[in-house]
Amino acid sequence: MTDKIIDWMYPNPLYLHPEEPLKRALHILLENNLTEIAVVENQKWKGIIKLQDVVQKDNDEKVSSFIRSCDRVASADLLIDKLQDIPTYIVNDEGELIGEITGKEWLHYHTTITKELKQKEEMLHLYEMVFDTAYEGLTVVDDKGIIRLFNEAYSRYVKVPTEEAIGKDAALIIENTRLPVVLKTGVPERSQAHRLQGQNLVVHRIPIWKDNKVVAAAGILVYEGVSEIYQVIDQMEELDKTKHSKFTKDPNKKNSLTRFEDLLGDSPCFTKTKKIARKASQSKAPVLITGESGVGKDIVAQAIHNESPITRGRFISVNCAAIPEALLESELFGYSSGAFTGAEKGGKPGKIELAHKGTLFLDEIGDMPLTMQAKILRVIQEKSVERVGSNHQSNIDFRLITATNKDIKQMVHEGTFREDLYYRLYVIPIHIPSLRERAEDIPIIVSHKIAELNNEYGDRKTIDQLVVQWMYTQPWKGNIRELINFLERLYVLSESQHMTLDNLPDDIDDKQRLSSYNFLANKKVAESLSEEEERDRIKETLEHVKGNKTKAAKLLGISRATLYNKLSRYTLE
Ligand SMILES: Nc1ncnc2c1ncn2[C@@H]1O[C@H](COP(=O)(O)OP(=O)(O)OP(=O)(O)O)[C@@H](O)[C@H]1O
């Protein structure tokens, strides 16, 4: 409920027609204990008549002769606390009477807000108590770095009384504080070691974003002493061990692989996606993951497999768009020896066979040719597979995850995707929202990526808040992949330790910028480049990363294999 009049007014006010006799007017006024009443003709507001004007008059006279104008008229959009007097008549833009605020509505509004205020006060008191009695040191600084909140625990750590700290610049009160840096960068710094009063502590520094701007930052000192971390880590390892034994999985098998906690982002829409994916991992039902390119379909599929207590085999991934149609069948089904000229002796198992007891991930399923769709459908129905050139059927048991950035339902309507297969795949649909729809996840992704890069390059670079703000405004058509490629490029190219907007290349305008960064991943851009231009861009990228092909492929947004192909085509090796 807002404070607007529309939410509080009485929508069916009493009124009279100008042609009605005073007799009726008097009757209504006296019966309802009113001193005035509205007059309306053809729904249009005409004014009011007052009891004092009509009380001694001839009862057969008409209401129209006694209408007075009245300035207690307001629109329904006005805030109720702006009203000067009651009763006030609510009239819309067409001049129609649509409600009124009398003493009754006014009282209702006031008792409600008083109650709400009281509840808020109680909540505030509760927050204050939690804040003050928390075991962790908590502080909040405003956008200028001035301490606004400072709890008892924090006061103990820094040995400055709370009253003294409040209102002071954090840099003067907290030794080596990095809260001003977090205010500047807008990027959270979690679980960082910090030395305070000769004591090693672990701190979190969290920027608080509002309307695309950092408005404050919170500092949290989590542990009394670093040694406690080791105890916590030990406890966590214990917990992990019991979890693995419960699921009787090989604890080393999937440890280094993607898990749900590795999926960065806690925006409401992405949290929902993760929740569905987590549930899906506990069953064997087929999953169909949809979402634009680069949103994380592949890693969500991996997390589902890795967290599954059921699929103990391998995660086998096949990109249906990347394999030429002629090879797809032998890739998926394998072949027997002598199936065709050049076939390996003893034959070769296909990806479906390799996924036995594990997960088969068919990426870009929308690009699977119709003939192959029929064959896959048969495998799903019969749970058996036959290698090309053999008539031996092997039973197989696998969990199927498919992904696409196409509208498969539309493809079914158009007849390019089999309806029966669609319904086999569409059991648990998981949609991953685009980065545009969850821009609030950008800072956490940036923070992780920069920490990773710092680790990799043995550096301590930071990023300016304006760059993060600018990131909020970008379309990120290539989603997370584009964002992390962009960050890596910015990191590598920036010569200063603090990456600012100045480090963005200025030879291209904003719109082109991002598509140019991983230009080869973007089909349209790649197609529009001449061979010479493509060669130059690859050469330039390789020079920037000092010949490191893995990094070059990442920056270009292509696989290493594609990069090698291009290098040999352009004789750049
Ligand atoms: N939530 C996330 N947290 C961390 N990294 C992510 C997240 N989502 C995606 N990524 C990273 O972004 C890149 C692209 O992700 P992925 O390959 O899974 O996308 P995709 O939707 O399968 O793309 P495509 O449709 O082009 O195959 C990968 O490097 C992946 O690790």
Q: Residue 267: CB within 6 Å of ligand 1?
A: no
What's the pLDDT at 508? 38
Task: Indicate the Cα dihedral angle 109, 115, 120, 122, nearest 10°.
Answer: 170
pLDDT over threshold 50, residue 69: yes
Q: Residue 297: CB within 6 Å of ligand 1?
A: yes
The closest residue, in CA terms, to atom 26 on ligand 1 is 293
Task: Tell me, in angstroms, the distance from the centre of ligand 1 to residue 300's CA.
Answer: 8
Task: Tell me, in angstroms, the distance from the centre of ligand 1 to residue 434's CA.
Answer: 11
CB 104 within 8 A of CB 45: no
Candidate of 480, 486, 488, 559 to mutate for ligand 1, largest count of ligand atoms within 8 Å of Cβ = 480
Candidate of 437, 481, 550 to mutate for ligand 1, largest count of ligand atoms within 8 Å of Cβ = 481
Tell me the average pLDDT across 243-259.
47
Task: Tell me, in angstroms, the distance from the centre of ligand 1 to residue 253's CA.
Answer: 22
pLDDT tens digits along 172-213: 998 888 899 899 888 888 777 777 777 777 888 999 988 778
- Please enumerate, as own/partner, the contacts of 566-570 that have beta carbons within 8 Å and a separation of 24 or more: 566/534, 566/538, 567/538, 570/531, 570/534, 570/535, 570/538
Q: Residue 291: CB within 6 Å of ligand 1?
A: yes
Q: Residue 295: CB within 6 Å of ligand 1?
A: yes
What's the pLDDT at 213? 83
What's the pLDDT at 172? 93
Find the range with the poorest average confidence among 39-48, 229-238, 446-455, 537-546. 229-238
Element spanning 157, H or E: helix 152-158
CB 25 within 8 A of CB 39: no
pLDDT tens digits along 53-62: 888 887 789 9
For residue 434, the 8-state DSSP code is: P
User: Which residue would you say has higher pLDDT here, 538 or 404?
Assistant: 404
pLDDT tens digits along 86-108: 999 999 999 999 999 999 999 99
Task: Tell me, in angstroms, the distance from the centre of ligand 1 to residue 563's CA.
Answer: 19
Tell me the average pLDDT across 424-435.
95
Residue 173 has a CB neighbour count (10 Å cut-off) of 19
Of the pLDDT bands very low, low, confident and very high (cuts 50, 70, 90), residue 517 is very low
368: nearest Cα among 417, 420, 425 = 417
Using CA atoms, how far apart are residues 289 and 300, in angstroms rounded to an integer?
8
Tell me the average pLDDT across 17-44.
93
Strands 15-16 and 36-41: parallel
Closest ligand 1 atom, residue 295 Cα: 21
Q: What is the interface pTM, i.e. ipTM, of the complex?
A: 0.97
For the chain, which domains are there?
A: 5-109 (3.10.580.10), 134-227 (3.30.450.20), 260-431 (3.40.50.300), 438-569 (no CATH)
264-268, 343-347, 413-417: which is most confident: 413-417
Cα Rg of the chain, angstroms: 34
What's the pLDDT at 505? 61
The closest residue, in CA terms, to atom 13 on ligand 1 is 481
What's the pLDDT at 542? 81
CB 286 within 8 A of CB 259: no
Task: Tell me, in angstroms, the distance from the centre of ligand 1 to residue 366's CA.
Answer: 18
Q: Residue 296: CB within 6 Å of ligand 1?
A: yes
Angle, helix 560-569 to helix 549-556, in steps of 10 degrees? 100
- Please enumerate, as own/partner, the contacts of 32-39 that have beta carbons within 8 Å and a separation of 24 or more: 36/70, 36/87, 38/13, 38/14, 38/89, 38/97, 38/100, 39/15, 39/63, 39/64, 39/67
pLDDT over threshold 90, residue 64: yes
Closest ligand 1 atom, residue 432 Cα: 21
What's the pLDDT at 223? 61
Task: Tell me, in angstroms, the distance from the centre of ligand 1 to residue 511's CA.
Answer: 22
Strands 399-404 and 359-363: parallel
What's the pLDDT at 387? 87
Task: Tell me, in angstroms, the distance from the centre of ligand 1 to residue 491's CA.
Answer: 19
